[in-house]
Amino acid sequence: MTSFETASIVYQQISDHYANAVSSINASVDALYNALVIVTQLDDPDVKIELLDIFEATWNAMKSGPTRPLISSAARLNTYIVTRTVYTSVNSFLDDVSYQVSSDWAALSADAGTPIDAIYVKD
């Protein structure tokens, strides 16, 4: 069994970093959309034609599941809590350590198959 302190530190630090990554990725998708809008509003048709396809393709590729690569790591961290500690759920672990995760981590955890109760989400 992993010690309470180790599990708590590992979970808190990794979930925070992954939540920040999710936030950054989502902001990147928004930025790519804003760039696409600029291209669509260009007055010069030659420039618009030259740029539109690739900018639209880039945005479309990014908007369809940009955080998908993070799901397996989130699933593994949540599994670690229930298999290597005395806790039977991530929610009971969060309750015991008095820790609230970000909404980005909660969403990623839900995508990974481990929903986190709203009481343990800080934003």
Domain segments of the chain: what residues? 4-120
CA distance 44 to 29: 25
Closest CA to 115 of 83, 69, 75: 75
Q: What is the mean pLDDT of each run of 10 residues along the chain (123 residues)?
A: 88 96 94 96 96 94 88 96 95 96 97 97 91
At 64 the pLDDT is: 81
Predicted structure pTM score: 0.84
At 4 the pLDDT is: 82
At 48 the pLDDT is: 95
Handedness of CA 57, 60, 65, 67 (dihedral sign): positive
